[in-house]
């Protein structure tokens, strides 16, 4: 189970981070704006370059073609063997491959992931993404494939000195993996206090309290995160960082609703937040509208409005996409029928 958790985390890290490679490249900008069709078209016009191979590999990952992605990213790395970022990306795809491999080949991929995270950090000790990735490996991977809480603790101190926010997030992950709830919540408080105008920091603090089933505290942080406006943000943030903050702010609306379902609190506030979320167009990394409708259906049921609950649950049930809410919607519909 822990091995599975680790590789799922690697997949999230890979999809979430954007490297600093060729930020002026229009194809890269299209990719970052999630205009994937245009990005692919532009990269294929220059498919012999290392940058193009790397991003074409990432596009293959988006489509679930992991073998093709690995091949392209390896070709990119072969062209840039002394570039920290390329080792970071190969470490990430190796982690994803391990998550889809048999128990016999997964350790080999895990070894590749660890090796290239280490190499990325060696080449550039200031590469925050690579250091964060290596820490995640040490936290989540079993010791038999190189996991080490002691090494994670050591590197987390180093990361915190380099980037306080990422370091605190790593501390939170470390304490969570060790079931050190009090220490995790203390770091969550420190994170929120240090970055009071960061929707990302406030959202992560909310997750810590939600995981500890302290739903009132989680609600407070999710509400604060959802209220952060662009004018509240640090003026030094770049475009990518501002986008991340926007995603976190709108994600907090969904989490207010989900938190209401999980904790049975702030039902009316949860309904309002989810209805606001449904007025927005989610980013691809965010929960879909059908997931929001499922949560909203559960809250309407709690409020005794079975008609609205059933209508929303039926819509959620019709979602047959991978990772969609159909299964939970069927369960909710049975609950509505019995109520």
pLDDT in tens, 85-123: 999 999 999 999 988 888 888 899 999 999 999 999 999
- The mean pLDDT value of the chain amounts to 91
pLDDT tens-digit profile of 134-184? 999 999 888 998 999 999 999 999 999 999 999 999 999 999 999 999 999
H or E element that contains 31? helix 26-32
Entry pTM: 0.86
- Within 10 angstroms of residue 70's Cβ, the number of other Cβ atoms is 20
DSSP 239-283: HHHHHHHHHHHHHHHHHHHHHHHHH---HHHHHHHHHHHHTS---
The answer to whether the Cα torsion of 195, 201, 206, 212 is positive or negative is negative
pLDDT, tens digit, 9 for 90 and up, residues 302-327:
999 999 999 999 999 999 898 899 99
Q: Which of the pair, 299 or 102, is modelled with greater confidence?
A: 299
Task: Please say whether the beta carbons of 336 and 306 come within 8 A.
Answer: yes
Tell me the pLDDT tens digit for each residue of 205-235: 999 999 999 999 999 999 999 999 888 888 8
Inter-residue contact 234 to 208 (CB < 8 Å): no
Looking only at Cα atoms, what is the longest distance across the chain? Answer: 63
What is the pLDDT, as a whole number, of residue 19? 47
Segment (H or E) for 316: helix 306-317
Domains identified in the chain and CATH numbers: 1-179 (1.25.40.10)
State both tokens at 270: 């949860």
Predicted confidence band of residue 240 (pLDDT cuts 50, 70, 90): confident
pLDDT at residue 6 tops 60: no
| Integer Cα distance of 163 and 287 in angstroms | 28
Residue listed under structure tokens 């016999």: 104
**Secondary structure of residue 72 in the 3-state scheme:** helix
What whole-number distance in Å separates Cα of residue 245 and Cα of residue 194? Answer: 15
CA distance 18 to 331: 37
- pLDDT at position 238 is 84
């Amino acid at each position: 189970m822990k091995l599975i958790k680790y590789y799922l985390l690697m997949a999230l890290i890979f999809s979430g981070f954007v490297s600093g490679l060729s930020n002026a490249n229009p194809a890269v900008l299209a990719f970052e704006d999630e205009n994937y069709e245009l990005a692919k078209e532009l990269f294929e016009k220059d498919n012999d370059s290392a940058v193009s191979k790397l991003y074409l590999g990432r596009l293959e990952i988006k489509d679930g073609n992991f073998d093709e992605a690995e091949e392209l990213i390896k070709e990119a790395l072969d062209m840039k063997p002394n570039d920290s970022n390329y080792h970071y990306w190969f470490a990430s795809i190796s982690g994803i491959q391990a998550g889809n491999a048999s128990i016999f080949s997964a350790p080999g991929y895990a070894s590749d992931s660890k090796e290239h995270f280490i190499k990325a950090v060696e080449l550039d000790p200031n590469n925050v993404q690579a250091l964060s990735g290596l820490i995640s490996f040490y936290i989540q991977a079993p010791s038999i494939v190189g996991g080490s809480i002691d090494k994670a603790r050591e590197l987390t101190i180093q990361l915190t000195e380099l980037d306080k926010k990422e370091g605190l997030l790593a501390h939170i992950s470390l304490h969570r993996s060790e079931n050190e709830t009090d220490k995790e919540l203390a770091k969550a408080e420190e994170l929120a206090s240090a970055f009071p105008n960061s929707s990302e920091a406030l959202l992560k603090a909310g997750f810590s309290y939600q995981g500890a089933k302290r739903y009132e505290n989680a609600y407070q942080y999710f509400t604060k995160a959802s209220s952060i406006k662009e004018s509240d943000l640090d003026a030094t943030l770049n475009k990518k960082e501002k986008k991340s903050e926007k995603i976190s702010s709108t994600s907090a609306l969904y989490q207010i609703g989900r938190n209401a379902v999980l904790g049975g609190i702030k039902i009316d506030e949860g309904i309002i937040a989810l209805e606001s979320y449904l007025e927005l167009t989610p980013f691809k990394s965010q929960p879909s509208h059908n997931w929001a409708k499922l949560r909203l259906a559960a809250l309407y049921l709690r409020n005794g409005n079975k008609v609205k609950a059933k209508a929303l649950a039926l819509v959620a049930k019709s979602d047959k996409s991978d990772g969609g809410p159909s299964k939970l919607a069927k369960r909710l519909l049975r609950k509505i029928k019995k109520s």
